[in-house]
């Protein structure tokens, strides 16, 4: 299978003399071109998993394979992490600094600004942007790398509902337009089902369950199929945790 393959990946941290197993023999396959959502309770190892795949942290054990992929990987974080002194276009151009051909550099930059509706703000500084726009710039910077693999760590978590919805729609459009593989971490069960072709449920450092989402894009969160899948994912998370959330509606549940 072409794609990213994790085989028995483990990662431990030492905190105050205690050993924390952040990842415990994680097995996961992400086929090339797939959109995979990862959900799970806070602290279950989602960020560590992305960091290991990105190469920001080394695993203690296990193997990571990129089969049939060229290794071009980009990551988007919960906060935009823009350089305050640089304009929108200069922030995005940071991802193109290895591009030798100036015409191509300009073309990728112009195209990405346009796709994300940022052309009119290309000269703006980060302090002149709204939260949604800043996150769009962060996504643009990642896309300028023309990644085969895009890792997203709760990228829309800090946005208001409207901006979040817009960016979710834009991300699906970008995914369908490009041959890109996406691994998307979220606390929001509905977002996981809205975006992923597969939802992986993590618990205490393990990928416990993989639930396929066989719905066409764009998805309708009000449809019976969507609601049933959302419930299935939620039940899987609660089953792993062994707890109940008595006062929350399924609409609002995030983990
Ligand atoms: N640099 C670190 N040093 C020590 N412990 C860490 C470090 N990074 C993560 N951990 C621990 O590893 C475990 C997994 O953390 P991780 O950030 O991957 O979880 P998460 O599922 O992404 O959580 P959240 O949803 O809250 O972001 C947690 O117990 C955390 O305290």
Which of 55, 34, 2, 23 minimizes the C-alpha distance to 184?
Answer: 34
- For atom 2 of ligand 1, the residue with the nearest CA is 13
Q: Is 48 in the pocket of ligand 1 (CB under 6 A)?
A: yes
Which of 13, 52, 237 is the best mutation target for the ligand 1 pocket, counting ligand atoms within 8 Å of the beta carbon and taking the most? Answer: 13
80 or 163, greater pLDDT: 80
CB of 65 shorter than 6 A to ligand 1 = no
pLDDT of residue 251: 45
pLDDT of residue 247: 34
Q: In this structure, what DSSP letter does residue 254 have? A: B
Please, are residues 195 and 218 in contact by the beta-carbon 8 Å criterion? Answer: no
DSSP H helical ranges for the chain: 46-54, 88-93, 102-115, 131-144, 161-177, 189-195, 224-241
Here the ipTM equals: 0.98
CB atoms within 10 A of CB 241: 15
Check pocket membership of 59 for ligand 1, CB cut-off 6 A: no
What are the tens digits of pLDDT across the range 106-117?
Answer: 999 999 999 899
58 CA to middle of ligand 1, Å?
14
The answer to whether the CB of 26 is under 6 A from ligand 1 is no
CATH topology (fold) of 1-72+147-161+175-241: Rossmann fold (3.40.50)
Q: In the structure, what pLDDT confidence band is assigned to residue 147 with cuts at 50, 70 and 90?
A: very high
Separation of CA 78 and ligand 1 centre (Å): 14
Q: Is the CB of 91 under 6 A from ligand 1?
A: no
pLDDT digit string (tens) for 86-133? 999 999 999 999 889 999 999 999 999 998 999 999 999 999 999 999
Query: What are the boundaries of each domain within the chain?
Result: 1-72+147-161+175-241, 84-146
Q: Whose Cα sits closest to atom 13 in ligand 1?
A: 22
pLDDT of res. 249: 37
Is it the case that residue 252 has pLDDT exceeding 50? no
Percentage of the chain beyond pLDDT 90 is 84
What integer pLDDT is reported at residue 71 of this predicted model?
84
The encoded tokens of residue 221 equal: 């969160």
Q: Which residues contact 200 (CB under 8 A, 6 or more apart)?
A: 28, 36, 37, 38, 39, 207, 209, 210, 211
How far is 183 from 44, CA to CA, in rounded Å? 16
Three-state DSSP state, 23: strand
Measured in Å, residue 23 CA sits from the centre of ligand 1 at: 9
Average pLDDT over residues 28-44: 96
**Shortest-distance Cα residue to atom 25 of ligand 1:** 42
For the ranges 31-40, 73-82, 158-167, 240-249, the lowest mean pLDDT is seen at: 240-249
Summarize the confidence of residues 62-70 as an average pLDDT.
Answer: 94
Cα 200 to Cα 155: distance, rounded to the nearest angstrom: 17
The per-residue pLDDT for 159 is 86
pLDDT of amino acid 246: 36
pLDDT at 253: 52
pLDDT > 90? residue 242: no
3-state secondary structure of 57: coil
Helix (H) / strand (E) element for 64: namely strand 61-67
Strand order in the sheet with 35-39: 73-76, 149-153, 181-185, 35-39, 198-203, 206-212
* CB distance 205 to 24 below 8 Å: yes
C-beta 22 within 6 A of ligand 1: yes
Q: Is the CB of 205 under 6 A from ligand 1?
A: no
């Amino acid at each position: 299978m072409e794609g990213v393959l994790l085989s028995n990946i483990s990662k431990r941290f030492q905190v105050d003399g205690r050993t924390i197993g952040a990842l415990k023999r994680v097995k996961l396959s992400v086929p090339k071109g797939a959109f995979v959502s990862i959900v799970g309770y806070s602290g279950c190892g989602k960020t560590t998993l992305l960091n290991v795949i990105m190469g920001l942290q080394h695993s203690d054990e296990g193997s990571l394979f990129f089969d049939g992929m060229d290794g071009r990987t980009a990551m988007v974080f919960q906060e935009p992490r823009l350089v305050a002194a640089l304009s929108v276009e200069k922030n995005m151009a940071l991802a193109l600094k290895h591009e030798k051909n100036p015409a191509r550099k300009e073309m990728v930059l112009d195209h990405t600004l346009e796709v994300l509706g940022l052309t009119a703000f290309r000269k703006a500084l980060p302090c002149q942007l709204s939260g949604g726009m800043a996150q769009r710039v962060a996504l643009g910077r990642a896309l300028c790398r023309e990644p085969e693999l895009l890792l997203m760590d709760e990228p829309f978590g800090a946005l208001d509902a409207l901006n979040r919805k817009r960016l979710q729609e834009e991300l699906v459009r970008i995914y369908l337009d490009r041959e890109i593989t996406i691994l998307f971490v979220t606390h929001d069960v509905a977002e996981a089902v809205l975006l992923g072709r597969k939802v992986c449920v993590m618990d205490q450092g393990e990928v416990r369950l993989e639930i396929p989402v066989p719905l066409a894009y764009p998805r309708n969160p009000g449809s019976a199929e969507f609601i049933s899948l959302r419930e299935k994912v939620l039940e899987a998370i609660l089953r792993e945790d062994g707890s109940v959330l008595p006062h929350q509606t399924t609409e609002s549940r995030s983990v």
